[in-house]
Amino acid sequence: MRRVTLLGATGSVGSSAVEVLQEGRERFAVHAVTANSDAAALAGIARRLRAERAVVADPAALAALRDALAGTGIEAAAGASAMQEAAGERVDVVLSAIVGAAGLAPTAAAVRAGSTIALANKECLVCAGPAFMALARRHGARILPVDSEHNALFQLIEGRDADEVSRFTITASGGPFRTWSAERLRRATPEEALAHPTWSMGPKISIDSATMMNKGLELIEAHHLFGLSPDRLDVLVHPQSIVHGLITFRDGSVHAEIGLADMKRPVSYCLNWPARGGCAARHLDLAAIGALTFERPDEARFPALALARSAMVHGSGAPTVLNAANELAVSAFLARRIPFTAIPETVARSLTEADRAGLLTEPETVEEAIGLDAAARDLAAQAVDNLAAIAS
């Protein structure tokens, strides 16, 4: 039996993981499942997976969690230290699927315990890339990428010499606004931005897909995960989301990983690694798909991608500030405080202010990255207020 902990069990990736774990219940034993505040959903998952422990980050949700688990023998807990404790218990695999920078501390606790990390929470690498990877090396914790594009690259280079690869390409669907004009983008609503054409995902990453910030965050993720210089990383827009990643060898040969847009596939890959488990991800019928198309990203209409790329090249805390400002801006857009095009504008202003305030230095530890994230949020809140005032 493989012992597994599921951080962010109630989310979109979490739901894929619940299905994979249920299908493979003879191979997996679940230690802990966690959520932020959705006690009812978490209790349902804990029962279905026969978890030992269920933890909510929000202490106000503990009473509801206890009630929902009464008589099951499943332990209920709440709060930041309970999350750390659950994540920090050594198991075979911890699936890190909390959304945002909130995932840093629990995932770092899992790394310190030396558990293998199936990493969906890209913010660990975006906000604290060098510190997080150094921590993993120090504690002998293996990082397996769940993000579909990185999972594709991981599968493609497994057992190969990465030095033989000249280019690593991740694909982007282009999001719901791929063909929209700059003028139309200014008037985009949260409902329109949330309607992703190919993937079903949580709200934060759906908005990031619409701005293409998600692909920028993924470049930074790949940079740290695989230790690649920025000039070896590329983005290709591929609206069908069938090809997830490609590697170009020195001799010009290109290998691609392809499959339907279903997170159960990379989740199953990471939970079963190095074996391959059977999973109920839908199978690909290329004849039914017919055509696969590719185009270059348009960084004039989607400036978030260029912002993320330059933060990656700059390093020294710029990706941490970029991510924090983007999280705040996405929330403000969803709350209808700022227009869609003010999201990258908030990020750009926050980076300028952070530079001016002397904040752009590389976080040496995950804790320093969490500190920089907090400082960047203060700057971003100011930028959001100013942009909201202009918009009203």
Which stretches of the chain bind ligand NDP, using CB under 6 A?
8-14, 35-38, 57, 97-99, 102, 120-123, 147, 199, 201-202, 204-205, 263
How many CB atoms are located within 10 Å of the residue 93 CB?
23
Question: In the bound complex, what is the minimum distance in angstroms from residue 55's beta carbon to ligand NDP?
Answer: 9
Which residue, 36 or 386, has its beta carbon nearer to ligand NDP? 36
Rg (CA), the chain: 20
Question: In the bound complex, what is the minimum distance in angstroms from residue 163's beta carbon to ligand NDP?
Answer: 27
Question: β-strands 233-237, 165-172: how paired?
Answer: parallel
Question: In the bound complex, what is the minimum distance in angstroms from residue 117's beta carbon to ligand NDP?
Answer: 13
Per the CB < 8 A criterion, the answer to whether 320 and 312 are in contact is no
Q: CA torsion, points 323, 326, 328, 331, in degrees to nearest 10?
A: -130
- Cα 163–chain centre separation: 26
- Torsion region of 122: left, alpha or beta (phi above 0 gives left; psi -120 to 50 gives alpha): alpha
Question: In the bound complex, what is the minimum distance in angstroms from residue 5's beta carbon to ligand NDP?
Answer: 13
Question: In the bound complex, what is the minimum distance in angstroms from residue 39's beta carbon to ligand NDP?
Answer: 8
Which residue, 199 or 249, has its beta carbon nearer to ligand NDP? 199
Residue 251 burial (C-beta neighbours within 10 Å; 0-12, 13-18, 19+): exposed
Task: State which residue has the least CB distance to ligand NDP.
Answer: 11
Which residue, 102 or 332, has its beta carbon nearer to ligand NDP? 102
Question: In the bound complex, what is the minimum distance in angstroms from residue 334's beta carbon to ligand NDP?
Answer: 12
Question: In the bound complex, what is the minimum distance in angstroms from residue 164's beta carbon to ligand NDP?
Answer: 27
Half-sphere exposure of 377 (CA within 13 A, CB side): 16
Which residue, 202 or 363, has its beta carbon nearer to ligand NDP? 202
Instruction: Spell out the residues 6+ positions from residue 11 whose beta carbon is closer than 8 angstroms to its own.
Output: 35, 97, 98, 99, 202
Which residue, 7 or 131, has its beta carbon nearer to ligand NDP? 7
Instruction: Spell out the residues 6+ positions from residue 197 whose beta carbon is closer than 8 angstroms to its own.
Output: 173, 175, 176, 239
